[in-house]
């Protein structure tokens, strides 16, 4: 790790930019080659060439004009300065990788809680390896991991105590009843920051994945970081490793910024989603690199009859400049738990490679709820098997109490400026019987590598397509210009 470099250089300077330009060149070349091979669609070729960089394209959105100036800034102000700053070492912590610091962290937070209404507090974690069980955060509080600081998750399941299931799930996601608490946890907080100089939180999740694999898991696994019912949350500039389960889980939260994170888990580690905003609004996720065994980002809002009853939607979600890989799952998924409704999601500048799907909508009978106004733009996919996938679940319900008549409403999904290189399968757009997905609009979408003989798989969907290659299914009527 080179700590001399500005932290974001890797994301905004050297990481995403060159691959974009390089890819566009490569892509232009491929497009031309493809067109020469399949030169029957002359209209397409003319449109496509005018769509290459350099063309006057007022319609392509603000990416080129504003560039990296678009940011989460409006969602969370400046990183607040706290009146009281202490170190975990002040609370008897020992960073030797062996001594348990569970009591030190809990004592530190109890102490710092007292400064919540006196200017706030910051707990520093210095360089070292700090083994700990689960601990809670407090309000007006910053957890700061200095360079070289590593928080290690305890290998004793009892150090991840059982807490109540989320009301919008009615049970643990994996097992009935309660669920293990997250390593870093908070409930009912305001103004919380989890940040640092790229320090690390390592959940040491292998123990949990083994329990999952060998089917001896008794309670649903804990997340690495979970915040419930909290407002004004910033999680930034850290590396998160080996979460037992979903890595960052804000649920029933508002005004959340997650920025400049590196999230890594082995590519086969089960359900190690990167970031899962759940029944939360005003969430901005930006400049993150994620490599894991499940979706990089999945937007959710509760499960079947429980999610419907609680009715807490996820709304106003931005996912921007996220890149990474997940071989069996998708770049950005919406659902499958979406019973409280999901609306107004903007995903832009997404770069995904070597993955099963690029963008994915997942729902099913029994879910109820809605998914409306979701837009994906400026998407680059490389070696992603299915670039666009809308699919039903596989009979995945919390219990027998689910209502087969509760179908989701899916309307207004916009996909534009997508390039997929070396995909193998045509898009799959499968809506739900008696609940067709409407207003599915694709513009300027170019999917290369798919053999001409594989048709799009569309069922119970309707919408529009313009400047889409290869030719989409008939359910997406061609339209001269998009609106
Ligand atoms: C991340 O770290 C950089 C470099 O130290 C700093 O300039 C920036 O303010 C930090 N951003 C956030 C959101 O914490
Ligand atoms: C943070 O650390 C991780 C793991 O060492 C590294 O991959 C990443 O590039 C670092 N991020 C920054 C911004 O330096
Ligand atoms: C947090 O700080 C704000 C502003 O100083 C204060 O109004 C609020 O009461 C504090 N919250 C808690 C829980 O201490
Ligand atoms: C942390 O908060 C949860 C509720 O969100 C509570 O059940 C648990 O006892 C708290 N843990 C500690 C150590 O205070
Ligand atoms: C399952 O995995 C756990 C954690 O590694 C281990 O303790 C346990 O012995 C394993 N059980 C079986 C039946 O393999
Ligand atoms: C949709 O979300 C964006 C950004 O999150 C926000 O600026 C806009 O106001 C939202 N629209 C509505 C109708 O809430
Ligand atoms: C729909 O989403 C777009 C951006 O994706 C946003 O600007 C607009 O406000 C949203 N409309 C509603 C009604 O939420
Ligand atoms: C079409 O998409 C490509 C790649 O995302 C982009 O470079 C180009 O500007 C877009 N064209 C138009 C007309 O928006
Ligand atoms: C796509 O596949 C071709 C042929 O196998 C290969 O030459 C090219 O490098 C691949 N491109 C990407 C972006 O994977």
**Per-10-residue mean pLDDT for the chain, 483 residues long?**
35 38 45 38 29 31 42 81 97 98 98 96 98 98 98 98 98 98 98 98 98 97 98 97 98 98 98 98 98 98 98 98 98 98 98 98 97 98 98 91 97 98 97 96 97 88 96 84 47
Beta strands 128-132; 84-87: pairing state:
unpaired
3-state secondary structure of 464: strand
> Two tokens at 298?
């999945």
Residues 6+ positions from 94 with CB-CB distance below 8 Å: 101, 104, 130
Pocket of ligand 4 (CB under 6 A): 106, 136, 163, 185, 187
378 lines ligand 8 (CB under 6 A): yes
Looking at the domain assignment, is residue 150 inside a domain? yes
- Kindly state if the Cβ of 444 falls inside 6 Å of ligand 8: yes
Residues 226 and 314 in one domain: no
Q: Is 417 in the pocket of ligand 8 (CB under 6 A)?
A: yes
Answer yes or no: do 260 and 358 share one domain.
Answer: no
Environment class of 215 (CB within 10 Å of its CB; exposed 0-12, middle 13-18, buried 19+): exposed
3-class state of residue 18 by DSSP:
helix
3-state secondary structure of 475: coil
Residues belonging to the active site:
294
Residues 249 and 318 placed together within one structural domain of the fold: no
* 36 occurs within a structural domain: no
Judge if 384 and 440 occupy the same domain: yes
Which residues lie below 8 Å from residue 221, measured CB to CB, with a gap of 6+? 174, 179, 180, 205, 208, 211, 212, 244, 245, 271
Pair (330, 235) in one structural domain: no
**What kind and span of H or E run contains 323?**
strand 314-325
112: left (phi over 0), alpha (psi -120 to 50) or beta: alpha
User: 10 Å Cβ neighbour count for 38?
Assistant: 13
Cα of 205 vs its chain's centroid, Å: 19
DSSP per residue, 145-196: E-TTEEEEE-S-GGGS-EEPPPTTTSS-SSSSS-EEPPSEEEES-EEEEEEE
Residue 217 shares a structural domain with residue 301: no
Going from the Cα of 141 to the center of ligand 2, the distance in angstroms, rounded, reads 24
Q: How many domains does the chain have?
A: 2
Which residue is closest in CA terms to ligand 2's atom 3? 239
| CATH number for 452 | 2.160.20.10
Please state, in angstroms and rounded to a whole number, the distance separating the CA atoms of residues 385 and 352: 11
Bridge partners of residue 410, in order along the sequence: 371
Instruction: Please indicate, yes or no, if residue 416 is contained in any of the structural domains.
Output: yes
- CA–CA gap between residue 379 and residue 387 (Å, rounded): 10
Same domain, 89 and 237: yes
Please state whether beta strands 162-163 and 179-180 pair in parallel, antiparallel, or not at all (unpaired): antiparallel
If asked whether residues 371 and 457 sit together in one domain, one would say yes
221 lies in some domain: yes
Query: How many Å apart are CA 322 and CA 263, to the nearest integer?
Result: 11
Could you say which of 242, 264, 286 is where a domain stops?
264
Domain that holds residue 241: 41-264
Q: Are residues 351 and 260 in the same domain?
A: no
Q: What is the pLDDT of residue 69?
A: 59
Residues 259 and 299 in one domain: no
SS3 213: helix
CA dihedral sign of residues 49, 55, 56, 58: positive
| Calpha distance 140→120 (Å, rounded) | 5
Of 431, 382, 383, the C-alpha closest to 411 is 431
Q: Is 176 part of any domain?
A: yes
pLDDT tens-digit map of 47-95? 222 222 322 333 333 333 334 457 898 888 777 899 999 999 999 999 9
Domain check: are 140 and 260 in the same one? yes
Q: Which of 349, 373, 378 to mutate to test the pocket of ligand 7 (most atoms within 8 A of CB)?
A: 373
Residues with CB under 6 A from ligand 9: 382-383, 421-422
Whether 177 is in a domain gets the answer yes
**Cα–Cα distance, 323 to 21 (Å, whole number):** 15
The verdict on residue 323 lying in a domain is yes
- Among 243, 264, 285, the domain-final residue is 264
Contact 232, 191 (CB under 8 A): yes
Structural domain includes residue 289? no
318 touches ligand 6 (CB under 6 Å): yes
Q: What is the pLDDT of residues 447-482, one digit of tens each?
A: 999 987 789 999 999 999 999 999 999 999 866 544
Q: Are residues 232 and 127 in the same domain?
A: yes
């Amino acid at each position: 790790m080179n700590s001399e470099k500005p932290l974001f250089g890797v994301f905004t300077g050297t990481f995403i930019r060159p691959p974009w330009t390089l890819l566009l060149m490569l892509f232009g070349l491929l497009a031309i080659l493809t067109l020469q091979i399949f030169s029957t669609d002359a209209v397409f070729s003319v449109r496509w060439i005018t769509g290459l960089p350099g063309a006057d394209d007022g319609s392509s959105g603000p990416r080129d004009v504003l560039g990296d100036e678009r940011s989460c800034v409006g969602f969370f102000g400046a990183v607040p300065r706290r009146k009281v700053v202490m170190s975990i070492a002040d609370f008897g912590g020992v960073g030797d990788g062996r001594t348990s610091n569970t009591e030190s962290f809990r004592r530190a937070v109890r102490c710092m809680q007292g400064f919540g209404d006196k200017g706030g507090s910051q707990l520093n974690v210095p360089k070292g390896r700090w083994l700990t069980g689960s601990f809670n955060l407090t309000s007006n509080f910053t957890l700061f991991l200095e360079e070289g600081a590593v928080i290690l998750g305890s290998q004793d399941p009892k150090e991840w105590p059982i807490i109540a299931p989320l009301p919008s799930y009615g049970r643990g996601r994996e097992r009935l009843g309660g669920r293990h608490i997250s390593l870093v946890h908070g409930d009912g907080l305001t103004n919380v920051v989890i940040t640092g100089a790229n320090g690390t939180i390592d959940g040491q999740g292998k123990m949990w994945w083994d329990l999952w694999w060998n089917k001896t898991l008794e309670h649903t696994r804990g997340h690495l970081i979970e915040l419930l019912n909290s407002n004004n949350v910033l999680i930034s500039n850290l590396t998160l490793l080996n979460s037992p389960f979903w890595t960052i889980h804000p649920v029933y939260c508002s005004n959340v910024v997650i920025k400049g994170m590196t999230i890594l888990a082995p590519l086969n580690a089960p359900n190690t989603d990167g970031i899962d905003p759940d029944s939360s609004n005003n969430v901005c996720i930006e400049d993150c690199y994620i490599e894991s065994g499940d979706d990089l980002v999945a937007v959710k809002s509760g499960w079947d009859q429980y999610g419907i009853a609680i009715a807490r939607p996820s709304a106003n979600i931005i996912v921007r400049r996220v890149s990474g890989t997940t071989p069996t799952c998708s770049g950005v998924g919406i659902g499958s738990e979406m019973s409280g409704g999901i609306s107004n999601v903007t995903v832009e500048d997404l770069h995904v490679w070597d993955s099963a799907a690029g963008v994915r909508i997942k729902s099913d009978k029994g879910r109820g709820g809605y998914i409306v106004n979701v837009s994906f733009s400026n998407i680059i996919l490389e070696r992603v098997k299915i670039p666009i996938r809308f699919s039903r679940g596989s009979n995945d319900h919390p219990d027998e109490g689910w209502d087969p008549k509760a179908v989701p409403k899916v309307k207004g999904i916009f996909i534009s400026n997508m390039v997929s290189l070396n995909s193998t399968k045509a898009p799959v757009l499968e809506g739900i019987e008696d609940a067709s997905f409407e207003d599915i609009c694709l513009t300027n979408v170019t999917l290369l590598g798919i053999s001409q003989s594989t048709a799009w798989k569309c069922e119970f969907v309707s919408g529009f397509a313009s400047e889409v290659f290869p030719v989409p299914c008939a359910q997406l009527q061609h339209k001269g210009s998009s609106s």
